[in-house]
Structure 1
Amino acid sequence: MRKIRLVVSDLDGTLLDESHRLSDELMDRVRTYTKQGGLFTIATGRNWYATKRIVEQTSIHVPVILCNGAVLADPSTIYYESGLATDVMADLLIEAGNSGIAVLLFEHNNVFGFGSEQGINRFCDKEKVNCEVIPARKDELLRIKALKAVLVGPYELSLSLWHRHRMDVSGQNGFIRSEEDFFEIVKKGENKGKTMLKLAERLGIPKEEILAIGNHMNDKEMLTEAGIGAAVSNSYPELLNYADFVCEHGWDKGVIETMDRFCRIC
């Protein structure tokens, strides 16, 4: 069996259970793996502010991948950061907010938002974070050093606004669908898989010895770049096309299943 030295797991819908918590069973499995010499980390759409609690609970000792690949960081250092071209998309964001969509903007340690109060509250409840509500004005947007933006609302409406404002033509930003109604915008070319390989190079681990686990389309590049890419059973159907292994179980139990199957240090 192929030796797996690094496990990289998505967070929401994968590592966390259906109540968005870390189960004791999962934590025991991760601790066992790391005591054997394996390395474990997470790759998430969240920023550091929304992730640091999870890092502390899991006692992760290697950098984590944040903002869908725009950031690689640990508690003391940002190793890689790729900012969003906010100026070219300010009009899109303002129109989205005025159209009943919640608009969230992420710095490393802050979250800002405007638009749908219901959407903002749903997002903040899910990720256990606070959001500073700001006016939907261009000068307010330009003062934020955004690493990513999320539109929370009907996906087709977000997509139509994206095309209307010719974002695909500008070539500076790209988007990822991370949940049914989450339209996530990052700098073009950034993704979890690309930053996962940056981390592996830093750790001296070949991609063949990486196990990546995810559940949605923002995990696609991560699964395809890893030596083994696994999709938990609650995955978005299209993601299954990119997985080497599809779990019988979902959420955290799928992570446990995958680690039990593939994680052998010796």
Structure 2
Amino acid sequence: MIKLVVCDIDGTLIGADENLHEKASELTKRLDAEHILFSLATGRADYLVSRYAEQLDISVPYITCNGAAVVSGGRRLTEKLMDAAPLEAVITEADRLGLSIVYSLGGRESVWRETPWILESRRRYGRYGRVHRFSREEWADTKLDKVLILDENKEGKIDTIENHCRRLFPDYGFTRYIDWSVEIVAGGVSKAQGLKELAALLGIPLDEVLAIGDHQNDIEMITAAGQGAAVGNATADLKKAADYVCKAEALDGVIEAVNHFCFSGRQLRKVPNR
């Protein structure tokens, strides 16, 4: 029996407009009525998750920064950070190649410089307002949640960055998102590890967890959970790893997966506001 549903955000719970549809709130209310908990697991920094947690009235902790932290009420219950100093070479190379660099520090995001992708994201979503490069002292003293390096033009430059990342393993981990980007975290950090920590905090066995996602950073999470679902727009790799592949995409796929695993295929009904 599923007691906890953990869902990715981007491409799964929300679409490109980053807005949360009313159907998501209806879903969490239905789960609550059945005494099934609902939480989030995302690569987003803490401050970018809180509004979704509030909109969905989520009372349990959630996973941020691809598993680097488990957060509740704006406070980190667990975290695993990485030293910035060993990343100087890869960040310097990414900057030389003209790639976009976003890093998270204490649950807040900053960018290395203003690339066209950064400027467009700021215009569309209001993100990436802080631009800051580390001083020599900061390289030595700073501990980071994660670093995202992105090749907006998909020119193959991510291959070079991946090679740098491989030299850092196993002290650092990374996820490659096809030909688009690489995300770096501390060794051992993943959504799967975050899921294990979340389940332990809630006292729920992993085999009573349903995890739902759409991309490469969700693979370990959906395989760690008792049941794992891939929404219809998920990557081929995630679909191969999933116990269930949804026909519907994004939020409609989430609803399909919850119906399949939690409600025996019954259609989700609209739940009156309480």
Verify same fold: TM over 0.5. Answer: yes
Q: What's the counterpart of residue 185 of structure 1? A: 184
Q: What's the counterpart of residue 224 of structure 1? A: 223
* Cα deviation code 1:4-29 (max 9, x no counterpart): 10000000000113422111112111
Q: What's the counterpart of residue 174 of structure 1? A: 173
Percentage identity across paired residues of the two chains: 31
Q: What's the counterpart of residue 69 of structure 1? A: 67
Amino acid at match of 2:161: L
Q: What's the counterpart of residue 157 of structure 1? A: 157
1:189 Cα deviation from its structure 2 partner:
1.6
Aligned pair 1:261/2:260, yes or no?
yes
Moved more, 149-158 or 22-31: 149-158
1:134 Cα deviation from its structure 2 partner:
1.6
1:220 Cα deviation from its structure 2 partner:
0.5
Report the aligned-residue RMSD: 2.2
* Distance across 2 between alignment mates of 1:66 and 1:243: 22
Q: What's the counterpart of residue 96 of structure 1? A: 94
Amino acid at match of 1:260: N
* Distance across 2 between alignment mates of 1:170 and 1:7: 31
Q: What's the counterpart of residue 247 of structure 1? A: 246
Q: What's the counterpart of residue 204 of structure 1? A: 203
For the Cα contact (< 8 Å) 1:85–1:172, is it kept in 2?
A: no
Moved more, 94-103 or 179-188: 179-188
Q: What's the counterpart of residue 42 of structure 1? A: 40
1:127 Cα deviation from its structure 2 partner:
5.8
Amino acid at match of 2:48: A
* Distance across 1 between alignment mates of 2:46 and 2:216: 21
- Aligned length in residues: 262
SS at structure 2 position matched to 1:60 = coil
Q: Which has the higher helix share?
A: 1
**Structure 1 unaligned runs (5+)?**
none
Using structure 1 for the length normalisation, give the TM-score: 0.90
Moved more, 92-101 or 111-120: 111-120
For the Cα contact (< 8 Å) 2:46–2:74, is it kept in 1?
A: no
**Structure 2 unaligned runs (5+)?**
265-274
For the Cα contact (< 8 Å) 2:121–2:128, is it kept in 1?
A: no
Using structure 2 for the length normalisation, give the TM-score: 0.88
For the Cα contact (< 8 Å) 1:211–1:230, is it kept in 2?
A: yes
